[in-house]
Amino acid sequence: MAEENPKFPLAPPRNEYPRSDQEYAPAVIESQRKSSKCLVYVLVTIVTVSAALLISASIFLRPNTPEVQLESVTVKNLSHGNGTSPSFNVTLVTELTIDNENYGYFEYKNCSGSVFYGSVTVGDVKIRDGRVEAREVKRINVTVDVDVRSNGNLDNQNLSSDRNSGIVKLNSYAKLHGNVNLFNVLKKTKTPELDCSMNLVLARRAVEDLVCSS
């Protein structure tokens, strides 16, 4: 028996509900499909954009450690003492390069390093603070006074034999303290190291076999 609801006279009779459900259902599913398609597009776009950002970030925002090397060493004012206490003084004029491969500048503080004869410090390396622009190689000249005397813990025998052989092995070491600044977004501390060995050939007043580890 079909009874009309007196409160909702326009409401469809109860037995017609199934049909109206059938009529409305496809439209609802279609709009759900549309919105889920749209959601997939949005998600794909977000994932794609994020991936592109990540890839470019890993290329542009990955701070590399700049490379410090001794490019050349010129020997000035070489003098060596003779006799019971062998010694020599030399001024090394060195040309350093700081290679900054980053897409941001590298700023470093004043720093000091050393020149070693064996394990003994025979000279101070002073590097003034400065800045290397993005993807640039900066060249700086550093003058080092080396004073080797057979005093203190300096091995007397070795110095005599080295002097007689005419070749003095020296090592130089310095560590820069600085920051790589990427697009003013990322600031990363980097401490590139200079670590080189060389032979000072007395007779030729020259430095040979300059080797730097990187």
Ligand X SMILES: *[C@@H]1O[C@H](CO)[C@@H](O)[C@H](O)[C@H]1NC(C)=O
The residues binding ligand X (CB under 6 A) are 76-77, 79-82, 87-89, 91, 95, 110, 117-118, 128-129, 139-141, 147, 155, 158
- The nearest distance, CB 116 to ligand X, in angstroms, is 9
Segment 90-93 long-range contacts (CB within 8 Å, at least 24 positions apart):
90/145, 90/146, 90/200, 91/143, 91/144, 91/145, 91/146, 92/123, 92/143, 92/144, 92/145, 92/146, 92/207, 93/141, 93/142, 93/143
**Cα–Cα dist 75/91, whole Å:** 6
> What's the rounded Cα separation, in Å, for the pair 37 and 193?
55
In the bound state with ligand X, the residue whose beta carbon lies nearer, of 64 and 160, is 160
Question: Nearest approach, Cβ of 134 to ligand X (angstroms)?
Answer: 19
- Smaller CB distance to ligand X: residue 31 or 77? 77
CB of 199 to ligand X, least distance (A): 12
Nearer to ligand X, 36 or 85 (CB): 85
On the CB side of 23, CA atoms within 13 Å amount to 5
Question: Residue 58 CB, nearest distance to ligand X (Å)?
Answer: 33
Q: Which residue's Cβ lies closest to ligand X?
A: 118
Q: Provide, rounded to whole angstroms, the least separation between the CB of residue 143 and ligand X.
A: 6
118 versus 193: smaller Cβ distance to ligand X: 118
Bridge partners of 170, per DSSP, are: 198
Q: CB nearer to ligand X: give 21 or 208.
A: 208
Extract the tokens encoding 191.
Answer: 């401490």
- Which tokens in the block code for residue 189? 């501390």
